Amino acid sequence: MINQLLFALMLLTTLGTGLMAGLFFAFSISVMKALGRLSPAEGIAAMQSINIAIINPPFLLVFLGTAAGCVLVTIVSLLRWHDPGSVYLLAGAALYLVGGFLVTMVFNVPRNNALASVAPAGPNSAGLWAGYLSSWTAWNHVRTVAALVAAALLTIGLCIRSVH
């Protein structure tokens, strides 16, 4: 029974990292490029709206649930270090926690919060918007790669564990 629950936890965590990688990827390859084509006032207003809209139950469930799952997978991997696939599970969970969750909280969220207080048509908005687009997107690329590699490592660990 406990092994089935652990498998379900690991599977849901793996799926969550994949979902987050996809969301981050969509922002990197399309959303931010589209916003960059708008005037600064339009881009700021659109991103402010996105930052409000994205804080919703499904997003929070996947984003926070995946981070919580990664914490639990990390603990299980350390407690069952000699089980097949543990090193991949640990690496994937740690990578998502640092490169997906922590980067979001330390780099992307503060930029979003700062942007929330900007008047879209303010006198300094063009410069602020250019800096935001550049730095936010760069950190989003980090989140994208981290979440994608984490999903791959978790998948490998889960496959190895399933075979044994």
Return contacts of 46-55, CB within 8 angstroms, 24+ apart: 47/112, 47/115, 47/132, 48/115, 48/116, 48/118, 48/120, 51/112, 51/115, 51/116
* Model confidence pLDDT, tens digit, residues 63-79: 999 999 999 999 999 99
With vertex at residue 154, the alpha carbon angle to CA 152 and CA 157, rounded to the nearest 5 degrees, is: 110
Distance of CA 17 to the CA centre of its chain: 7
Mean pLDDT for 153-161 is 97
* pLDDT tens profile 86-118: 999 999 999 999 999 999 999 999 999 999 999
Q: Which residue, 7, 36, 24, is CA-closest to 108?
A: 24
